[in-house]
Amino acid sequence: MKLALNKVTLCAAAVLFSSAAFAEKVVNNSITLAEVKAAQQAWGEALINISNTHEQKGAAAAKALAKQVLDAAYGYNMGAVLFKPTLANGEQTFRTTYDGALSYFVAGDKNFAQDGGFALKGWKKYEYENAGVYLNGDLALTMGHVHVTDKAGNTTTVDKTWGFKKDAEGKLRIVLHHSSLPYAAN
């Protein structure tokens, strides 16, 4: 397709109309790759923060912080979250409620008696690596490995999938979280 329009005529037009140009307003409801990575990084930092708070200030302070993290980073106030934590199983495999998620991270809920408190395990290091990122408007999916290292230097690697939803304030919230230990062939 030949294009007869040229830069000169375009510039002329610009001169002609530029005196009434609008201030272009842009609303963007989509998630960028940078936003996804910031949210992934923040998740690990929050995990370590809860661990450190637990060590330094005790269980109550850790629980209070975990609530703040859940409120800010997960979408439980936007409806159910599809959450399969690493170390949950049986009838409590899926934590679609706020209470179920909170118990997984800091334990202490008699309704989830098997929970040991994943965020209380003394995590000191965190890293994620993505095999793939899928950006689809206000929803972004990631899949890859997460490595967490405790104070004894032991590293646990998990296979992790996240789904992030951009909320009304433009912040990313986790609405999907599937974490599992690597398959161990024997």
Q: For the CB of residue 77, give the shortest distance to its own copies in the complex, in Å.
A: 9
Q: For the CB of residue 117, give the shortest distance to its own copies in the complex, in Å.
A: 14
SS3 for 141?
Answer: strand
In the complex with its own copies, the residue whose CB is nearer, 111 or 136, is 136
Q: For the CB of residue 76, give the shortest distance to its own copies in the complex, in Å.
A: 11
In the complex with its own copies, the residue whose CB is nearer, 59 or 87, is 87
In the complex with its own copies, the residue whose CB is nearer, 117 or 163, is 163
Q: For the CB of residue 148, give the shortest distance to its own copies in the complex, in Å.
A: 9
β-strands 123-136, 139-150 pairing: antiparallel
Quote the CA–CA distance of 21 and 30 in Å, as a whole number: 26
Beta bridge partner(s), residue 125:
149
Which of 26, 33, 30 has its CA nearest to residue 165?
30
SS3 for 3?
Answer: coil
In the complex with its own copies, the residue whose CB is nearer, 108 or 161, is 161
Give every CB contact of residue 25 below 8 A, 6+ residues apart in sequence. none
